[in-house]
Structure 1
């Protein structure tokens, strides 16, 4: 199982018709947890990998978590994000992270960009805050 840091920018991205804010993502975890996610380049994601959702603004923090459901697949209709994958938000972990997020200042990776693997030094803190 790999752990991915997935970056959302609430100013640029929408999810399921709403803003990609921690509050909206928590609501999705409760009502519609399986979501399609987008990538600009393919990643070696596999079913069961975790995605840790990092919100880029206004407060830089990890405040949600989900599990990858399928490997990324290509789409032809989106030149900016030509790859998609499905992931299911983990309601309890997302709630725990929403209540006690991991802030950027607490992480080893001080310049997260795009979608990248979680640094091994950051994983214990993420798991603890998520209640896993």
Structure 2
């Protein structure tokens, strides 16, 4: 199993035509936790991997987590070579992270890409804050 950081910029990223901010993802986790997220490239995600959602603003922090349901697949509707990955948001862990997010400094993130692996030193803190 691998752990991934997925970067969301609420000023740019949308889900169901709404800004993809912490409140939107928390609401999904509580009401409809199965979602698909866009990837610019396939990555090597497999079922069971965790996806930690890092919100770039207003406070740069991880405030949600989900589990990969299926390997990423080509987004045939987009026609641009992008992928979709089905993820189930973990409701209780997302609630815990929403209340006590893990900040950028705590994660030791340098340059931020759309998706990257969690640094091994940051994983224990993420798991603790999420109650996992």
TM-score scaled to structure 1, two decimals?
0.94
Q: 2:105, 2:130 → 1: CA distance?
A: 17
* Count of aligned pairs: 132
95 and 80 in structure 1: CA distance in 2 versus 1, 3 angstrom threshold: farther
How far apart in 1 are the matches of 2:110 and 2:124? 16
User: What do you get for the CA RMSD once the two structures are aligned?
Assistant: 1.3
Q: Which residue in the other structure is 1:51 paired with?
A: 51
Once the two structures are superposed, the pairs formed by residues 1-132 of structure 1 within 5 Å of their partners are: 1-79=1-79, 82-132=82-132
Runs of 4+ more than 6 Å apart: none
SS for the counterpart of 1:23 is helix
Deviations 1:47-101 (A, max 9, x none): 0100000001121000000000000011233255610110000000000000000
TM-score w.r.t. structure 2 length? 0.94
Point out the more displaced range, 109-118 or 42-51. 109-118
Q: CA deviation at 1:3?
A: 0.2
2:74·2:81 contact (CA, 8 Å) conserved in 1? no
